[in-house]
Amino acid sequence: MKTYIVGGAVRDALLGFPVQDRDFVVVGASPEDMLAQGFLPVGKDFPVFLHPKTHEEYALARTERKTAAGYKGFVFHTDAEVTLEQDLIRRDLSINAMAQDDDGNIIDPYGGLQDLKDRIFRHVSMAFCEDPVRILRLARFAARFATPPQDFSVAQETTALMQTMVAAGEVDALVAERVWQEISRGLMEVRPSRMFAVLRSCGALQRLLPEIDALPEAQMQRLMQLIDASAQANLALHLRYAVLLHDLPGKLVDGICQRLKVPAECRDLAIMLAREHLCIKDAASLSAADTVDLLGRCDAYRKPQRFLELLHAAASLYAEPEQPYPPQGILSKALEVVQQVNGGEIASLYTSNPAQIPVAIRAARIAALEAINK
């Protein structure tokens, strides 16, 4: 029985990245052997165990066989006779198919060290094409490892294999939740544009986000610059997602969010930014009435913090580097002013005619804004 650190922990350590989690593979053991040593079983699809002291995950070396479309269509086989090389060959990329033994030695049967040096993403074997999630993972890795001295590139044969997978409909078998999980994680990497470039190069973007893929080239280039800038500014996920979709009509944005089952926080801000960003840009020319109505459409009176986040997202579209964004100040000040209007007091004056309450409150807010603009 031997244990090895495998996958991302080995890769990241070699790249000088902080290692967040370690995955272990156990060779030459059975589930009964693991239980006898105090490991706790947690795996449903194949035997995975928690170390009795560190609670890190240990998986028995396994082979797998494709049985159906999608990323769940696999049958796994574990046996004390399964070798480390057999386990590693089923992994996605050569840089993820390395292992480290207890003495610190690197086991690299599939050229991961050289590909790491050359900064190349290369599939290990034809097993890559059996799991469409690997296309998304590779694209996310491209966004993550976009750091000096140069970006990782995708091997030509791997791009060709991904194109074949897309043409065969494998990407269409992905469930919405998994697509959103990978895209959202990619948006939070250091250079999200690389994820979209990889997805586009193999045709997957046209299947997953055809609305983005259909953008004219100049518009796409500008959008990718903006999404990378949002990453450099360390914006939260819901702001980055809103930036990604801001050029699309609101109905398309809503359709994408429904299709990918996007969380409400991301969906609501994306729809608002797509609908309102041009209006926000022209805030200096809005009348007091138009400003009050903009605040109302964005539900700023009930959710002021979300409106301020909307302004922050809009600022990322139009602000010059290290320069103030005038509409952001104008509209945040306008929100402060209208929040001073006492709606309850106004409502008490119209108890006999409730239909006039919203009209009177709107008029009071307009008057308040006009007063400070004189």
Could you tell me which residues are annotated as the binding site? 8, 11, 21, 23, 91, 137, 140
Residues comprising the binding site for CTP? 8, 11, 91, 137, 140
What is the distance between the alpha carbons of residues 374 and 369, in angstroms, rounded to a whole number? 9
Residue 100, strand partner residues: 5, 106
Residues comprising the binding site for Mg(2+)? 21, 23
Our measurement of the distance from residue 67's CA atom to the centroid of its chain's CA atoms, rounded to an integer in Å, reads 29
- As given in the structure block, the two tokens for residue 12 are 């990241």
Contact indicator for 87, 73 with CB cutoff of 8 Å = no
Write down the residue that tokens 């947690």 correspond to: 42
Our measurement of the distance from residue 3's CA atom to the centroid of its chain's CA atoms, rounded to an integer in Å, reads 33
In degrees rounded to 5, what are phi and psi of residue 121? -90, 115
Parallel, antiparallel or unpaired: strands 120-121 and 153-154: parallel
Residues comprising the binding site for ATP? 8, 11, 91, 137, 140
In degrees rounded to 5, what are phi and psi of residue 168? -80, -5
Q: Around Cβ 156, how many Cβ atoms within 10 Å?
A: 10
What is the distance between the alpha carbons of residues 70 and 131, in angstroms, rounded to a whole number? 6
Write the DSSP symbol of residue 323.
S
What is the distance between the alpha carbons of residues 293 and 276, in angstroms, rounded to a whole number? 11
What is the distance between the alpha carbons of residues 318 and 334, in angstroms, rounded to a whole number? 20
What is the distance between the alpha carbons of residues 9 and 208, in angstroms, rounded to a whole number? 29
The gap between the terminal CA atoms of the chain, to the nearest Å, is 82
